[in-house]
Amino acid sequence: MRILLVEDDRALNRSLVKLLKTQNYSVDPAFDGQEALDHLLGVEYDLIILDVMMPQMDGFTFIKKLRTQGDEVPVLMLTAKDSLADRITGLDLGADDYLVKPFVFEELLARIRAMLRRKKRDVLSDTVQIGDITINIAKKQVKKEATLIELTAKEYEVLEYLCRNRGQVLTRDQIREHVWGFEYEGESNIIDVIVKNIRKKTKDPALIKTKRGLGYVIKEA
């Protein structure tokens, strides 16, 4: 997943880039709206994190130009301005979400994941083919060739979540939060158990790859 971070506070920009990279995101920094537009000329991004108050071109002007050009990339606006009018302005201009400074990094990550999930739902086709495994998103069915594979609801949710984030390594905490939410207090190895069960039921040990010390990623089609 590639993110464009547009923030004129250089210390905060560097800090956020470093932290986002620890979560396996690819991040390009920009320090004002015009520099961000220049980045967009040659790169396609999955998400833009956009500060409002910036020199040369502020966030409101940037997003207005972005949407006028027909670019629908999701935008999360960051601002120290907590007035209702500013939030409404940003959302009306085309922002998808709004986060007020100062914020906790974990909340930023949660909002990023939520926005990327919404984007995945919009673009993912009804059927995903991975080798001889077919995942029907609409029917929530998994088949190996023509044989239906009986997965539990949680096993299916984990498999679908990995498919929606194909190419991205997901940590156990990310998977646990997506499937159970923040309140899960069960066994700490539940994700490992579910992944093991999926591999066994699909008879494909390589379907979900383990990235030691990081998490899991679905294999390429």
The model's pLDDT over 49-85, given as tens digits with 9 standing for 90+, comes to: 999 989 889 999 999 999 988 888 999 998 876 667 7
- Token couple for 3: 């993110």
CATH topology for the 125-218 domain: Arc Repressor Mutant, subunit A (1.10.10)
Query: What average pLDDT score do residues 193-206 get?
Result: 95
Domains 2-122 and 125-218 share a fold: no
* pLDDT for the residue numbered 181: 66
- The helix (H) or strand (E) run that includes residue 194 is helix 190-202
Domain-wise residue ranges, the chain:
2-122, 125-218
For residue 173, pLDDT over 90 is answered with: no
Res 179 pLDDT > 60: yes
Which pTM does this prediction carry? 0.56
Tokens of 48: 């833009």
Mean pLDDT of the chain: 87
2-122 is classed CATH 3.90.850.10: no
The 127-130 sheet, strands edge to edge? 127-130, 133-136, 141-144, 147-149
In this predicted model, what pLDDT tens digit does every residue of 92-116 receive, in sequence order? 899 988 888 888 899 999 989 888 8
